[in-house]
Amino acid sequence: MKKIATIISLMPAGITANAQTVFDPFTNEQAFFEMMHSVVIIILVFLASSFVLTLIKLFLDDRLKRRIVEKGVAEGVIAQLLPANQKGKENSLKWFAILTAIAIGLTVISFYMPSGLYAAIVMIFSIALGFLGYYFLLKKLR
């Protein structure tokens, strides 16, 4: 919760740093672009760091489980120490599929430059394909 409060409190820093007397960020295109650019960077840094931390956690949990099994500890003790975290793996897989589909959709949009409505349709279709891919991956893994 502290992270969210810190991020929200730091977002308007770009607006307050402007040293002009009359400032309206929504009519000034350059200021609006800079504000949106900083927000996107903060969101991307958060997503990348949470992805890396999740991967590290999964790797270390798996390594710990392997060492416990090698030591010959009873299964009941293992189940109590390390509860099954299947939801975390499924959640990571879901976000991977969705973000990959969004990246593919944005790539298609950048190559073909469709107008507003068509770009939204391409993004909706690519996200839907990402969810479909997630469903088939989940079905295959189960």
Asked if residue 131 has pLDDT above 90, the reply is yes
Asked if residue 51 has pLDDT above 80, the reply is yes
The structural domains of the chain, with segments of one domain joined by +, span: 1-83, 85-142
CB 91 within 8 A of CB 85: no
pLDDT of residue 25: 60
Output 10 or 67, whichever has higher pLDDT: 67
Give the pLDDT confidence of 64-99 residue by residue, as tens digits: 888 888 888 877 777 777 766 667 778 888 888 998
CA 50, CA 46: separation in Å to the nearest integer? 6
Task: Evaluate if pTM is beyond 0.95.
Answer: no
